[in-house]
Amino acid sequence: MTSIQAYYRQTANTGPEGRSLLPGIVHVGVGAFHRAHQAWYLERLNRLHQQEVKWGISGIGLLAGDSDFLHRLEGQDCLYTLTLVDQAQRDTWAIGAITEVIAAAEDRARALARLASPDTRIISTTITEGGYLYDFETDQFIAEHPAVVHDLANPEAPQSLFGYLLLALRLRRDRNAGPVTLLSCDNVPGNGSVFRQALTAFVRLAGDEALLHWMQSNVSFPNSMVDRITPTPTAELAADVAARTEVDDACPVLGESFAQWVVEDDFIAGRPALEQVGVEFTPHVAHYERLKLRILNGTHITVSCIGRMLGLTYIHEAMEDSLLGPLARQLMDQDAHAGIGHFSDAEIDTYKDTIVHRFANPAIADSIDRVASDGFSKLKNYLMPILRDCLNRGQVSPRLALAFACYLRHLEGRNDHGEPVVINEPALSESERQHFPGRVKAFLRLPQFLGQDDSAPARAFIAETERLHDSLVARGTAATLLDISVSSVV
């Protein structure tokens, strides 16, 4: 077997001096997506500039559960393999853009020192939607969240990202360490704006108006849109990497060959020239975000909710299904397309073709359970914008209604074959999980969905969802899907 260090030297063509990286970026949340996406882009850029001192990433994990993985990654000098797959080939990279990793739960002082270092010019994050402690319905920071309450009462022992940033930004100001960009790379609409509002609210709760004043001219929050399907790494992936490359990697990651990163060019302390490797810098991130959320994310959660009830395991199986695959494209064409704007119809159609091709890729083996997890939040964030557009046009979509109906059916715990299904719904309490199965109208009348909307299209959508739910109970998902496939939009 070959060590990951030797494989990196061989494939990246580094000399005996090594990687020559300066950790100008601190990334919080060193999960599979970050390692398959942002770190990959930076690795490619660094390989274009072998003779220069290059941008590196210092990775920080805030959660106690991060420690085991971070120690494994540290044990192989923060090097790992990234295998990119499409339907024709598998290409395995060695990635060396990460220079160090820090488990903040074990070494808070080291994490703060890196966040406050003058060398740190960008602090980026992949902490999931929940990590921003933000109520997207009310557009407010969740001041009563237990992590917020803890960090305000124990400012020297923070738990949340915001508690760490409060201390780090104070240190940067007091030490004249320079400005810094806070870059959210999470799949959150308007992620930079949300980051700014959440941090501003937290600092205000901490009573530090002087720091807020300093932040106005020393911290930027660009919006960004990221995209690459990245399944959860498995033991089979490590075995595959070893068989093909003879590399023993304890931290491999898998991704599709497609990747996209669109960023608002608002970097107050400088940035790497990532446009050289395909990153798009634009003031119009919201247009790309709208396209992706409606076409990719909206279709993803729809096919996963329905596919789960059919007893399917992978997204590509859903796309191969003779009824569900066409429904996915119909949702794009008949429900999502009209509300996108900005792009030409031809550009949107090309994007749809790309998404269908990506979803149908069997090599990525993206699990329906992964895509369908936290379905409550995804219905709210990805399907509701499409549904609102449809209702505003007076259109009631049976495809969207079926997605909601299948979601409610899965809360009962079994698919159409009587097999248990995974229920991973962190946004629902246990009592809510027990209450909503079978209660279509009560669920859709939640403020996250239709709320008090008493328009004729909203009432018709509730009735359509109830009708399809009754059909699921009486006849099953396949028969209900067949009915939809031969009907037009109600």
- pLDDT at residue 180, rounded to an integer: 99
Q: In 271-426, at which residue ranges do the beta strands (DSSP E only) sit?
A: 280-281
**Structural domains of the chain, with CATH:** 4-283 (3.40.50.720), 286-485 (1.10.1040.10)
Reported as a single tens digit per residue, the pLDDT across 326-364 is 999 999 999 999 999 999 999 999 999 999 999 999 999
Task: With a cut of 50, say whether residue 489 has pLDDT above it.
Answer: no
Amino acid identity of residue 41, one-letter, is: Y
In which residue are the tokens 């995974």 written?
422
Composition of the chain by helix, strand, coil, percent to 5: 50, 15, 35
pLDDT category of residue 427 using cuts at 50, 70 and 90: confident
Model pLDDT, residue 51: 67
Contact 165, 212 (CB under 8 A): no
Round to whole Å and give the CA distance between 235 and 248: 12
Complete DSSP assignment for 411-453: TTSB-TTS-B-----TTS-HHHHHH-TT-HHHHHTSTTTTTT-
User: 31-72 pLDDT, tens per residue?
Assistant: 999 999 999 999 999 999 876 778 999 999 999 999 999 999
**307, 325, 356 from 481: Cα distances, Å:** 11, 11, 19
Q: How far apart are CA 481 and CA 468, in angstroms?
A: 9
Instruction: Summarize the confidence of residues 93-109 as an average pLDDT.
Output: 97
pLDDT tens digits, one per residue of 113-128: 999 999 999 999 999 9
Q: Which of 45, 95, 52, 115 is nearest to 272 (CA)?
A: 45
- What pLDDT score was predicted for residue 361? 94
Band the pLDDT of 490: cuts 50, 70, 90: very low
Q: Which amino acid is at 427?
A: A
Q: Is residue 17 over pLDDT 80? A: no
The mean per-residue pLDDT over the stretch 441-456 comes to: 96
**What pLDDT digit, counting tens, does each position of 367-424 carry?**
999 999 999 999 999 999 999 999 999 999 999 999 999 999 999 999 999 999 999 9
Helix axes 384-392, 456-475, angle to 10 degrees: 120
Whether the pLDDT of residue 102 is over 60: the answer is yes
Write down the pLDDT at residue 13.
74
- Annotate 435-454 with b (16+ C-beta within 10 A) or e (fewer): ebeeebeebbeeebbbeeee
Q: What is the pLDDT of residue 19?
A: 73
Q: Once rounded to an integer, what is the mean pLDDT over residues 450-468?
A: 98
Predicted confidence (pLDDT) at residue 195 exceeds the cutoff of 50? yes
Long-range CB contact pairs, 316-324, < 8 A, 24+: 316/359, 316/360, 316/361, 316/362, 316/364, 316/365, 316/366, 317/368, 318/359, 318/368, 319/356, 319/359, 319/360, 320/360, 323/478, 323/481, 323/482, 323/485, 324/481
**What percentage of residues in the chain have a pLDDT greater than 70?**
98
**Whether pLDDT at 283 is above 90:** yes
Mean pLDDT over each residue of the chain, to the nearest integer = 95
pLDDT digits (tens, 9 = 90+) for 142-164: 999 999 999 999 999 999 999 99
